[in-house]
Amino acid sequence: MKELGPDFYNITDLLSEEELLIQKTAHDFVQAEFMPIINEHYEKATFPMELAPKLGKLGFMGSALPEKSGGAGVSNVAYGLILHELERGDSGLRSFASVQGALVMYPIHSYGSDEQKAKWLPALGAGTKIGCFGLTEPNFGSNPGGMATTCNKEGDVWVINGSKIWITNGSVADVAVVWAKDNNGVIRGFLLEKGMDGFSAPLQHGKWSLRASVTSELVMDNVRVPDSAMLPNIEGLKGPLSCLTQARYGISWGMVGAAVDCYNTALEYSKDRKQFSKPIAGYQLTQAKLAEMITRITEGQLLVYRLGRLKDEGKMTFQQVAMAKRKNCAMARDIARTSREILGANGITEDYSPIRHMANIESVYTYEGTHEMHTLILGEAITGMAAFDS
Ligand SMILES: Cc1cc2nc3c(=O)[nH]c(=O)nc-3n(C[C@H](O)[C@H](O)[C@H](O)COP(=O)(O)OP(=O)(O)OC[C@H]3O[C@@H](n4cnc5c(N)ncnc54)[C@H](O)[C@@H]3O)c2cc1C
């Protein structure tokens, strides 16, 4: 972390050699292979799909899962550092890896049959097959438990009807983890494959945020699948929620990466840019902004470092993840905006990353549980009273 800084509290000293090496590998990959093409993809609203097998080869898909499940078997802190570096590049890149690892490989690894694991996990881990996760619906975002997508058993087959929206990687996915409710109101997960009769994934257009990421609808019109397409080892809302906990963990790290990139950009700029008699970094008003930024980044780093070690010890709770996701999204959102401010007019151009991060963070702040929902999760954790209907 030190050379990839800032590391004001010497958190690097708490990381193993292996974790540091993994972070450096991720950093170098993003700088060499992704940064030269990000602006072009951002403008075109596309994702560089050719990077998927490279991410796989480096072990960046589901990195903390065991190797037999397509992962790399690294610590959760190392996994967090990978996502930190991917999101230092762009939230679209981190989202791509998060969905694949936390929202597709994780549920297949945790709840899938042996056949499902054998069919999908090696290819998903290698990045040669792509997955997506369909939970959100047009009328059910923050309360996914209300979902209207149904799965009804007719003889030997499940018939799935409904639609999902805002699905990252939907149109490019070979397999979709789709959550649906049966006749008894029980939520079940299904693995739907590209090209199945009645299943389509039209691309969503018109995003001004997270543009270097594919976002799609999923439409299920009488999709008929056998029992073997259902995740056999989970039922109920805890299935999708457990996946979200994994993804939110990664987002908490990723947001520090985005904030760090904004801060570094603003710091360098402020030391170079002269107005009146000296660099703008020499003025107290700029220093107040930089001091606030480094303090908030350090708080964010400490949160995710501790969260990662708790996860490695098997002690992490979803409420702790909610705190880190909530706090680090808000931190990065503010830092991106302040960094843009320090860059003046140049800050609104593609020549500098903060405005791209700033636009991206609006999505990250909202997806995987909005800021308000995480506030309510924390509220319930500390008072014992839920302020929302479950
Ligand atoms: C780019 C992008 C990618 C996404 N990728 C995926 C994906 O891959 N898979 C997937 O399933 N979903 C995905 N999502 C969807 C995302 O998870 C939802 O947008 C999110 O859960 C919020 O739902 P909503 O947009 O319907 O907002 P709503 O739930 O309608 O919320 C609107 C506002 O009301 C607030 N609100 C809601 N309930 C309460 C309450 N009880 N008290 C106070 N305030 C409340 C919210 O905090 C928010 O500010 C993605 C979204 C985006 C933008």
Looking at residue 287, which CATH number applies to its domain?
A: 1.20.140.10
Domain final residue, candidates 72, 93, 126? 126
- Report the pLDDT value the prediction gives residue 3, as an integer from 0 to 100: 65
| 159, amino acid identity | V
Pocket test for ligand 1, best of 366, 374, 380 (most atoms within 8 A of CB): 366
**Cβ–Cβ under 8 Å, residues 340 and 358:** yes
Tokens of 377: 């999760």
β-strand pairing of 187-193 with 215-226: unpaired
Name the token pair of 29.
């990959």
* Contact by Cβ (8 Å): 256, 304: yes
Q: How far is CA 215 from the centre of its chain?
A: 13
Give the pLDDT band (50/70/90) at residue 360.
Answer: very high
Mean pLDDT of 293-301: 98
- Residue 145, ligand 1, Cβ within 6 A: no
With cut-offs at 50, 70 and 90, classify the pLDDT of residue 259. very high
Residue type, 243: C
**CA 62 / ligand 1 centre spacing (Å):** 24
The answer on 345 and 253 residing in a single domain is: yes
127 in helix, strand or coil? Answer: coil
* Together in a domain, 192 and 269: no
> Which H helix or E strand runs over 310?
helix 284-312
DSSP-derived 3-state class of residue 174: coil
> Does residue 203 sit in the same domain as residue 113?
no
Tokens at residue 159, please? Answer: 């018939």
Residue 210 lies in a domain: yes
Q: What is the pLDDT of residue 252?
A: 98
Indicate if the pLDDT at residue 388 is higher than 90: no
User: What is the DSSP code (8-state) at residue 147?
Assistant: -
Is 1's pLDDT higher than 90? no
Ligand 1 neighbour 141 (Cβ under 6 A)? yes
Looking from the CA of residue 209, the nearest atom of ligand 1 is 1
Q: Cβ(90)–Cβ(98) under 8 Å?
A: no
Helices (H) and strands (E) in the chain, counts: 12, 9
Whether 388 is covered by a domain: the verdict is no
81-101 pLDDT, tens digit per residue, is: 999 999 999 999 999 999 999
Range of the domain at 158: 131-229
Please give the single-letter amino acid code of residue 214: V
pLDDT in tens, 184-199: 999 999 999 999 999 9
The domain tally of the chain equals 3
- Select from 126, 150, 178 the last residue of a domain: 126
* Side chain identity at residue 79, one-letter code: Y
Q: Looking at residue 85, which CATH number applies to its domain?
A: 1.10.540.10
139 and 265 fall within a common domain: no
Check pLDDT > 80 for residue 233: yes
Residue 223's DSSP bridge partners are: 160
368 is catalytic: yes
| Residue of 367, 373, 378, 380 with the most ligand 1 atoms within 8 Å of its CB, for mutation | 367
Q: Ligand 1: distance of its center to the CA of 137 in Å?
A: 9
Mean pLDDT of the chain: 97
- Same domain for 192 and 115? no
Confidence grade of residue 390 (pLDDT, cut at 50, 70, 90): low
Block residue for tokens 């800084």: 5
**The two three-digit tokens of residue 321, written as one number:** 């993840």
Q: What is the pLDDT of residue 4?
A: 85
pLDDT band at 5 (very low <50, low <70, confident <90, very high): confident
Cβ of 215 below 6 Å from ligand 1:
yes
Cβ of 373 less than 6 Å from ligand 1: yes
**179: Cβ below 6 Å to ligand 1?**
no
pLDDT of residue 368: 96
Q: At what angle do helices 76-89 and 17-29 cross, to 10 degrees?
A: 20
Whether 220 and 350 map to the same domain: the answer is: no
- Residue 122: phi and psi, rounded to 5, are -60, -40
DSSP-assigned letters across all residues of 22-68 = HHHHHHHHIIIIIHHHHHHHHHHT---GGGHHHHHHTT-SSTTS-GG
- Percent of the chain at pLDDT > 90 equals 98
Alpha helices in 90-224 (DSSP H): 91-98, 106-111, 114-126
For residues 224 and 346, membership in a common domain is answered with no
Query: Residue 389: its pLDDT value, please?
Result: 76
174-200 burial: b if 16+ Cβ within 10 Å, else e = bbbbbbbbeeeeebbbbbbbbeeeebb
> Which of 163, 196, 229 is the C-terminal boundary of a domain?
229
- Going from the Cα of 389 to the center of ligand 1, the distance in angstroms, rounded, reads 16
Q: Are residues 326 and 351 in the same domain?
A: yes
* pLDDT confidence tier of residue 378, bands split at 50, 70 and 90: very high
For atom 41 of ligand 1, which residue has the closest CA? 388
Q: What is the pTM of this model?
A: 0.97
pLDDT reported for residue 166: 98
| C-beta of residue 326 within 8 angstroms of C-beta of residue 94 | no
Span from the CA of 6 to the centroid of ligand 1 (angstroms): 32
Q: Are residues 167 and 250 in the same domain?
A: no
Q: Is residue 271 classed as helix, strand or coil in its secondary structure?
A: helix
Looking at the fold, whether 62 and 24 belong to one and the same domain comes out as yes
